[in-house]
Amino acid sequence: MVTFISFIVVLGVLIFIHELGHFGAAKFSGVGVEKFSLGFGPRLFGVKRGGTDYMLSALPLGGYVKMVGEAAGEDVGEDEVKRSFTHKPVAVRAAIVAAGPVMNLVLAAVLLPAIFMLGIQLPAFLEKEAKIGYAIPDGPAAKAGILRGDVITAVGEKRIENWEELLSAFEMNPSTALDIALLRDGFTVKLKLIPDSSTETGGGYAGVLPEMIPLINDIAPGYPAEEAGLKPGDRIVAIGNSSVTHWAELEDLIHKDGDKKDFVVARDGAELKFEITPKYNEDSKAYLIGITRREEQVYKRYGFAQAIKKGAETGVDMTGRLFAVIKGLIAGKYSLKTLGGPIMIAQVAGKAAKTGVVDLLTLVAFLSLQLGIINLLPIPVLDGGHILFCIVEVVKGSPLSDRVLAVSQQIGIALIVALMALVTYNDNFRLLN
């Protein structure tokens, strides 16, 4: 229920702000607005004020503003010409069309600084030097020769100061050969690494982790760890004959089979032994004992000026990543399987809502920025396509023919339908797997 409500709230805010942009610009320009709808399809309920039907429609995956004389070839009475969209100067029409995505960009620009002023919680390791705590066996980093204890100082020409910069460098360069500089035992070592491409996000990952002490944070009810008597704060030091110094080592030893295992746990200065048999989990497709890791977090709240700066930097970074992904999809660098649709958005919204208000606002800001930018792309059906038609009209000196507009719209609709089919397939494939 939380997931569904969060999805409706997030989507509703994005749609409302977008359509409010079109509505406000139309009203300001003297264009009549017949309908302001959140959702598509049959009208559920609404209210009529000032000649506009403000309504909620059955399908909540979008919205629209219906203006007087908006459709090509639409008959408009003589008394309605002054309020007709198509009879307004081309600059006015372009401004009305652009107002929707611009409002989404404005929402993101307002929310991002607000998020930093409210305060954000981050894993403490992100601000620490990029010292390798674990290199996943057979992962890109391990294959490249990176070892535990190495400190990565540069990726290509970029100087690496902390883990956040390192993970970002890998994420933005999937399947790309990267020159890595690192410190090992006081000496500089240089090597090449090719990050794998994530099937979930399309971004690159190298299979490296920071230091992660195998310290238990929570015990899941009904799982073997609770039944055996493990407690939050316990530190697992060995499983069977294998010592454990990193959480990833612990996972490797637990996940692989359901055999009974001897756990050695440090608690209050003493070492205790437990016999635990992992339980298979269908969702994770792995054996689990029901524990989560304790991770050091830092809470940071920024002043107004700092929040504006951090918000702007984050917005620029998000924009750069979006265009990098678009470019990667076109060039075949990223797989189309990484694209997600409404189901993925609902899942992320649900998780964000459970985590807290700041995470939910961050998701809204991120999606609003994406929606604004993508809608400005010069693709028929999208707002950017309509703006392109306005530009062509200015250059040509006359509007495009109804036939050209109709064919362009059909092509745009076909592209959108194909994209929706693809992301729906991807969403369902993830659910089934």
Residues tagged active-site: 19
- Stretch (H or E) spanning 342: helix 342-355
Strand partners for 122: 298
Q: Are 85 and 69 in contact (CB under 8 A)?
A: yes
Cβ-proximal residues to 119 (8 Å cutoff; 6+ apart), any chain? 299, 300, 301, 302, 358
- Stretch (H or E) spanning 408: helix 402-432
Q: Is 123 helix (H, G, I), strand (E, B) or coil?
A: strand
- What the block records as the tokens of 229 is 């008597």
* Residue-by-residue DSSP string for 183-243: EETTEEEEEEE-PEEPTTTS-EE--EE-----BEEEE-TTSHHHHHT--TT-EEEEETTEE
CA angle 203, 206, 212 (to 5 degrees): 115
Terminal alpha carbon distance of the chain: 22
Q: Are 287 and 278 in contact (CB under 8 A)?
A: yes
* Residue-by-residue DSSP string for 269-289: TEEEEEEE--EEETTTTEEE-
Cβ-proximal residues to 272 (8 Å cutoff; 6+ apart), any chain? 264, 265, 266
Cβ-proximal residues to 60 (8 Å cutoff; 6+ apart), any chain? 8, 11, 12, 38, 39
Minimal CA–CA distance to 177: which of 156, 194, 162? 194
- Token pair 């090719």: residue: 194
